[in-house]
Amino acid sequence: MKRALETHRITWQGIVVEIRYEAAWFGTNGPFSTAHLEVEAIEPEQSELPFTETGYRSHFTSADDVAEAGGPVAYARAWLDHAARSPAWKDRQEKARQLSLF
């Protein structure tokens, strides 16, 4: 079976993010299809994202969930936006904006 991998790039909060998506990761389609989504900070390379300190996240989910969200780009953007509301992310962002003397 031929694999169908989609690749998209977006800019989120000044970070270029690459989204790679395969709707039928196990080679099956239908209501129980497992999708694979990869989100990676490309520029600046390995920039921290709200759900990963390394700039890379691999995620398996339902292909139906991704479709219901509006596709892989909308799904990833909503995931980033939701995770960015966490107090931990807001704290890290605030600390990154402040200069450190040590």
pLDDT, tens digit (0-9, with 9 covering 90-100), for 50-69: 999 999 999 999 999 999 99
The pLDDT value recorded for residue 4 is 84
**pLDDT for 18 beyond 70:** yes
The pLDDT of residue 98 is: 72
Give the number of other Cβ atoms within 10 Å of residue 78's Cβ: 12
What's the mean pLDDT in 9-20? Answer: 96
Predicted TM-score of the model (pTM): 0.85
CA distance 80 to 28: 27
What rounded mean pLDDT belongs to the chain? 88
Q: Are 100 and 36 in contact (CB under 8 A)?
A: no
